[in-house]
Structure 1
Amino acid sequence: MRILFIGDVVGDQGMDMIQTYLPRLKRDLKPQATIVNGENATPVGRGISEAIYKALLSSGADVVTMGNHVWDNREIFDFIDSTKKLVRPANFPGRDVPGRGFTTLQVNQKKLGVINLQGRVFLPPLDDPFQVADRIVDELRQQTDMIFVDMHAEVTSEKRAMALYLSGRVTAVVGTHTHVQTNDGQILTGGTAFMTDAGMTGPDDGILGMKPEAVIGRFLDQRPARYEVATGPNKQLSGCIVDISDTTNQATAIKPILINRDHPYLN
């Protein structure tokens, strides 16, 4: 099996890159499952709407994962409970949390589980993602052949810790949130694919997708600043491909995908 994963989609430019290149990537790479992180996909770069969610599915996503901005567009409360294909971080605290933290996908003769987790270092103090992962992974291992984890976290150590903690129990742990693609894809000893961050899909002229003036100003004067999605002419798409053995259900390879002005898509 092959899984295509696309990192955080940011704003209108991110959606444009998805609609332009995701069908081509699926045509050329032939993944059996496609997962897209859409937590920044609205025009303001925070949250998701039902129309954008449906556009991601129409462009080729099988599952849409989220992150710390999941609730930032309140429209999500109107539709999140009605779909199995939108997955928010599973470790939000409290009872009756809207939506779901994991889902399953039938892929030919195989069943894939998809889990979304959020880290706690430099992010809101959600429930312990490691304990939540234990519970969900134990449940999914009884009903699925493979498990993919989107680990939405700020620090590299927390993402790698989760990957090593789950090594041998899940098929892949890929990080999101920091919007910078890392060059550390590897297959861990237990047969689990890992990459610290898949990168972002959206404006390539800003800082993590935002207009640079406000971000730089915040560094200079430490005063609150309103971040807005960058609008320059350059855009990027980032993600990765994970190949999985149909015999062992273990990952065999993980490779980054990057499309931008320096890495044009030639197919």
Structure 2
Amino acid sequence: MRILMVGDVVGRPGRKAIKENVPDLVRSHYIDLTVVNGENAAGGKGITREIAREILAAGADIITMGNHVWQQKEVFTLLTREERIVRPANYPPGVPGTGLHVLKARNGVPVAVLNLAGRVFMDALDCPFRKADELLATLAPEIKVILLDFHAEASSEKMAMGWYLDGRVSAVCGTHTHVQTADERILPGGTAYITDVGMTGPVHSIIGVEKEAVLEKFLTGLPRRFEVATGPYQLNAVILDIDENTGRARSIQRVQNFE
């Protein structure tokens, strides 16, 4: 089976990229399931009900999140009502939403989608490694295809997670840095790995933000309000080919589409 994983969608340009690319990718690559990271979809921070509907209508089967999950106030209700949105599972107990969802792909195969957040250079959350163990232990034996969106800053932490889960999940796909890495590979145990899927958003930007504001902050050290850049978009994604009988990955292919 084939899974399309789309990197962090940033603002309006990112949502446009989803609408104009995902349906064609699904058709041309015979995609069975589409996963989209939407944590920056609403003006660069968080997600709203309407934007979630927009992304799902464009072809996403499930939306993963990250450290900006709580930026829009309506998300607290949204996460309790929409099971197709998962947030990092290693937030403390009692917060809205879930970090694991099992759904059926277009070919009828059940797929578990996990979402975890890193701790290096990020918020102090529960241990993502131990949380991964906990979540995997809850899955029924017949669920072989398992995808993890690991939303983390440090490449070392993402690589550590890849090796930690090698042979236990089908893929570990890093998100958060908005820069697609060229280290996609199949680990010895059969897990597909990439440090960062990349960003789906404005090309002429600094990780999705207007260049001028970011440059001024670097030059002066003064606080600046960041806005999502405008102009043409890029879409960063990976296509995973997975043996649905064993859960082992056959291949991982990077995608870069530009407007």
What TM-score, normalized to structure 2?
0.97
Provide the rounded CA distance (Å) in 2 between the counterparts of 1:101 and 1:55.
Answer: 21
Q: Would you say 1:251 and 2:246 are equivalent positions? A: no
Provide the rounded CA distance (Å) in 1 between the counterparts of 2:66 and 2:161.
Answer: 16
2:72 match: 73
2:157 match: 158
1:53 match: 52
1:234 match: 232
Q: C-alpha offsets along residues 165-223 of structure 1, whole Å, 9 cap, x if unaligned? A: 00000000000000000111000001000000000101000100000111111211222
Aligned-pair distance for 1:143?
A: 5.0
1:32 match: 32
Find the partner of 2:103 among 102, 105, 130.
105
SS in 1 for 2:149: strand
Q: Would you say 1:128 and 2:127 are equivalent positions? A: yes
Q: C-alpha offsets along residues 90-113 of structure 1, whole Å, 9 cap, x if unaligned? A: 0002x3210111100113342110
Q: Determine if contact 1:140/1:147 at 8 Å carries over to the other structure.
A: no
1:264 match: none
Q: C-alpha offsets along residues 221-243 of structure 1, whole Å, 9 cap, x if unaligned? A: 22222111011x22100000000
Residue identity in the other structure for 1:32: D
Provide the rounded CA distance (Å) in 1 between the counterparts of 2:108 and 2:26.
Answer: 20
Identity of aligned residues (%): 48
2:3 match: 3
Residue identity in the other structure for 1:101: G
Provide the rounded CA distance (Å) in 1 between the counterparts of 2:139 and 2:152.
Answer: 22
Q: Which runs of 5 or more structure 1 residues have no equivalent in the other structure?
A: 262-267
Aligned-pair distance for 1:141?
A: 5.1
Provide the rounded CA distance (Å) in 2 between the counterparts of 1:220 and 1:162.
Answer: 35
Q: Which runs of 5 or more structure 2 residues have no equivalent in the other structure?
A: none
Q: Determine if contact 1:147/1:172 at 8 Å carries over to the other structure.
A: yes
After superposing on structure 2, the runs of 4+ consecutive aligned residues of structure 1 that deviate more than 4 Å are: none
- CA change 1:41–1:88 in 2 (3 A) is same
- CA change 1:65–1:222 in 2 (3 A) is same
Provide the rounded CA distance (Å) in 2 between the counterparts of 1:23 and 1:146.
Answer: 22
Residue identity in the other structure for 2:126: D
Provide the rounded CA distance (Å) in 2 between the counterparts of 1:249 and 1:168.
Answer: 9
Q: Determine if contact 1:117/1:150 at 8 Å carries over to the other structure.
A: yes
Question: CA RMSD for the aligned pairs?
Answer: 1.1
SS in 1 for 2:8: coil
Q: C-alpha offsets along residues 67-122 of structure 1, whole Å, 9 cap, x if unaligned? A: 000000111112210121100000002x3210111100113342110000000011
1:63 match: 62
2:221 match: 222
Provide the rounded CA distance (Å) in 2 between the counterparts of 1:76 and 1:145.
Answer: 30
Provide the rounded CA distance (Å) in 2 between the counterparts of 1:145 and 1:22.
Answer: 25
Aligned residues: 258
